[in-house]
Amino acid sequence: MSDGALSQAEIDALLSGVDSSSLGGTAPAKELTGNEAERKALQKLLDETCQNQSNALSTMTGATVTLGKPQVSFINRDRLVTQLPDKVAAVKADFSSGFPGDHLFIMGEDTAKSLASMMNKEENIELDEMALSMIGEVVSQVVGTQITALTRATNNTSIASMSPETTNVPKAVVALPGGTFLCAEYDLDLGNGQLQKFWEVYGSNVVHAIGSALNGNDAGSARKAPAAAPNQQQPAMTASPMGMPMGGSPSMGSANVQSVQFPNLMAQVTSQEQSNISLIMDVPMEMTVELGRTKKLIKEILGMGEGTIIELDKLAGEPVDILVNHKLIAKGEVVVIDENFGVRVTEIVSPIERMNDMA
C-alpha cells in the first residue's frame, strides 16, 4: 500500500506465519501430501457419519440441518489460515484415549452465531459464554457420533474425547497442529439453502493411528492382551524322590516342591439354577438415565415457570447415571441415534458398589 499500512489480511498472515505474498494472487503452493491410504480411510468414515451428524444437528436446532460429505486433504497451518474467516469459533476436542492427539473444529463467527441462535430460539445472539457452550455441545454430539462409528469399525472400546473447549478468536491465534495435518472441509446448510463452511482438523499422529486401525493394521487397532514370547515358558519345578531339586546340588533344609492344583474360583451355574433364572427372564424392569439432581425449597419450586433454568449437580461432559428400578448399575454418555436420544454405556458399576447402594 502507498501509505505503508498493512491490511487486516496481511496482519493475520504475519501473525500466523503465512507468506503475505500469497495474498496478492500469486500461484498456489504445491499441494501437500501424506499417507493416501490413511486419508481415504478417514474420508470413508466421515462420509458414512454425515447423515447421523445431520440428524443430531437437526434435533438440537429444530431445523433441517444438512452436513455435506467433506473434502478431506492434507494441509498445513499457513494454507488453512488463508481459507478461514477473520474471526472464528474454534472448538478443541482432543482425543484423550484410544487414538490420543489433536482434534478440533473451526467455524466462522457468523456460522457459530447462527447455530447458537437456532438452539436458543433467539435472534441476533452474541457469542458470550453461554453461546460458546452451545457450540461446544454441538461439537460434542458430532464427536460422539464419530466415536461410535470408530468403535464399531476398529473394535477399539477405549476411544474417548476431552470435553470441548470453545473460544471466539481471530483466525491467526487458533491453536492448530504443527507440520502437515488432515483437514475435513464440510458444507453446512442450516435449513435456509445457504452453504456455510465448517472445518475439522486431525493431528498427524491421530490420522496415522486411526488410519492404521481402519486399514487393519494392529498398530492402531484395539488394545489386545500381549501374547507370550516364544520359547520363554516358565520352567516347571520338579522334585526328586529324595526331596532334592532336579539338576541342583543337595542343600540344608531343601523342601519337596510339588505343583499345587487350585480350585476353580469362577461361580458355576447348575442346570437347576439356570432353570430358575429362566423363569424371570421376561420380567420387565424400569431403566432410567439420570442427567443429574438438585434440591430446591418449596417456594423455589412453586416459583418456577417457562424459561426457568435448573442447575444440576453434574458437570458438563460428566457421565450420566443408568439405573434399573432406581438402583445404579452403570454410567454412560448421551448420544443421538437417528432422531432419538440414547446412551452409550461406558462403565459398569461393580457388584460391591451395587450392594453398598442397596444397603
Q: CATH number, domain at 92?
A: 3.40.1550.10
Overall residue count recorded for the chain in this entry = 359
Q: What angle do CA 313, 137, 72 make, to 5 degrees?
A: 150
Maximum Cα interatomic distance, the chain, rounded to a whole number of Å: 104
Per-residue pLDDT at 258:
60
Helix (H, G, I), strand (E, B) or coil at 300: helix
DSSP string for 208-275: HHHHHHHTT-TTTS---PPPPPTT-PPPPP-B-TTS-BTTS---TT--------PPP-SPPPPHHHHH
Helix (H, G, I), strand (E, B) or coil at 183: strand
Half-sphere exposure of 346 (CA within 13 A, CB side): 19
Per-residue pLDDT at 286:
87
CB 179 within 8 A of CB 127: no
Element (H, E) at 342: strand 340-348
Q: 205 with 289, same domain?
A: no
- Domain membership of residue 103 (yes or no) is yes
Q: How many domains does the chain divide into?
A: 2
User: Residue 52 and residue 177: Cα distance in Å, rounded?
Assistant: 27
CA-based nearest residue to 42, from 215, 216, 159? 215
Q: 203 with 291, same domain?
A: no
Per-residue exposure over 275-284, b if at least 16 CB sit within 10 Å of its own CB, e if not: eeeeeeeeee
Per-residue pLDDT at 235:
43
The grid coordinates of residue 35 equal 499417507
- Domain membership of residue 277 (yes or no) is no
User: Residue 356 and residue 73: Cα distance in Å, rounded?
Assistant: 52
CA-based nearest residue to 74, from 21, 29, 107, 12? 29
CB 322 within 8 A of CB 289: yes
The grid coordinates of residue 42 equal 478417514
**Which segments in the chain show pLDDT lower than 70?**
1-33, 217-278, 352, 354-359
Per-residue pLDDT at 20:
41
Q: 147 with 295, same domain?
A: no
* CATH code for the domain in which residue 347 is found: 2.30.330.10
Q: 189 with 297, same domain?
A: no
β partners of residue 65: none
Pick the last residue of a domain from 214, 244, 261: 214
Q: 59 with 159, same domain?
A: yes
- Domain membership of residue 255 (yes or no) is no
Q: 207 with 296, same domain?
A: no
Task: Name the region of 351 (left: φ>0; alpha: ψ -120 to 50; beta: rest).
Answer: alpha
Per-residue pLDDT at 224:
41
Per-residue pLDDT at 291:
86
Per-residue pLDDT at 104:
94
- Domain membership of residue 66 (yes or no) is yes
The grid coordinates of residue 264 equal 476353580
Q: 34 with 170, same domain?
A: yes
Helix (H, G, I), strand (E, B) or coil at 192: coil
Per-residue pLDDT at 21:
41
- Domain membership of residue 275 (yes or no) is no
Q: Which domain holds residue 128?
A: 8-214
CA-based nearest residue to 81, from 191, 165, 176, 211? 176
Pick the last residue of a domain from 154, 188, 214: 214
**Helix residue ranges per DSSP H, the chain:** 8-16, 36-61, 77-83, 109-120, 129-154, 204-214, 271-278, 298-302, 351-358
Q: 125 with 204, same domain?
A: yes
Per-residue pLDDT at 340:
84
Q: 78 with 189, same domain?
A: yes
Per-residue pLDDT at 226:
42
Per-residue pLDDT at 45:
92
The C-alpha torsion from 348 through 350 and 351 to 354, rounded to 10°, is -80
- Domain membership of residue 274 (yes or no) is no
Pick the last residue of a domain from 187, 214, 241: 214
User: Residue 53 and residue 262: Cα distance in Å, rounded?
Assistant: 53
- Domain membership of residue 92 (yes or no) is yes
